[in-house]
A and B are shown apart, each in its own frame.
Chain A
Amino acid sequence: GDSVTQMEGPVTLSEEAFLTINCTYTATGYPSLFWYVQYPGEGLQLLLKATKADDKGSNKGFEATYRKKTTSFHLEKGSVQVSDSAVYFCALSLTDSSYKLIFGSGTRLLVRP
């Protein structure tokens, strides 16, 4: 079945370091892909999205490219800040009538000053 696998955390970085969080997926059809972010004690917020192969989603300095050949959607940021500390979830949207989201298990990012 459809699934999302993302790297386990926690990921600990110093401020201004480069960030990569790996995400791969298994899906039938052509799903849309998402990264959501969850700050402590809050709900999930959409960070970025991509709807077709080779699309690049970007927001707040974060980027991810929909790679169909490698079934990947890795999240990157060139220079992280302390305020980026959060849990990041990769997700895909099923293309059936439910449009359900399938989530990865989440990756906690901790950025130290």
Chain B
Amino acid sequence: NAGVTQTPKFRVLKTGQSMTLLCAQDMNHEYMYWYRQDPGMGLRLIHYSVGEGTTAKGEVPDGYNVSRLKKQNFLLGLESAAPSQTSVYFCASRTSGGTYEQYFGPGTRLTVT
């Protein structure tokens, strides 16, 4: 049982390049989330999904797209990377019941030059 995994762990992009971050969970969770973490700002929600085939915008969605084609995977795409997207990205998931806690992946550190 790996929990929540993220690929890749590190990446350096040039401005204008594109990439996709992959999040996978093996806990059969309905809900999945993408956050970014910047110094002094805590975690801010980018996009989320309440089930397979659904996505919704969070607090800071501009410049990102997501897809949830399979229940266990949640992809975060950057179509044209900008230096302002340099950050650490965390994926999280939660079950549909329970007490609302989310389980986090180890993070992806992205640098855009």
Distance (whole angstroms) from the CB of B37 to the closest CB of chain A: 9
- Stretch of A13-21, A62-70, A73-81, A92-100 lying at the B interface: A92-100
* Chain A residues whose CB sits within 8 angstroms of the CB of B94 once the complex forms: 99
Q: Is the CB of B41 within 8 A of A105?
A: yes
Q: For this complex, into which size category does the number of interface residues on chain A fall? A: 20 to 34
- Stretch of B13-21, B69-77, B78-86, B99-107 lying at the A interface: B99-107
Across the interface, B101 reaches (CB within 8 A) one of A43, A46, A97, namely A46
Chain B residues bordering chain A, tally (CB within 8 A): 25
Q: Is the CB of A98 within 8 A of B42?
A: no
User: Which of B41, B92, B100, B105 has the largest count of A CB atoms less than 10 A from its CB?
Assistant: B100
Q: Is the CB of A106 within 8 A of B42?
A: yes
* Chain B residues whose CB sits within 8 angstroms of the CB of A105 once the complex forms: 40-42
Q: Is the CB of A98 within 8 A of B102?
A: no
- Listed from nearest, the 3 A-B pairs whose CB atoms lie closest are A103-B42, A93-B100, A43-B104
Interface residues of B, Cβ cutoff 8 Å to A: 4, 31, 33, 40-45, 48, 50, 56, 58, 90, 92, 94, 99-107
List 27 contacting pairs A-B, 8 Å CB cutoff, sorted by A.
A32-B99, A32-B101, A34-B101, A42-B106, A43-B90, A43-B105, A44-B92, A45-B104, A46-B101, A46-B102, A46-B103, A51-B99, A89-B42, A93-B100, A93-B101, A98-B50, A98-B56, A99-B100, A100-B33, A100-B45, A101-B33, A101-B102, A103-B43, A103-B44, A105-B42, A106-B40, A106-B42
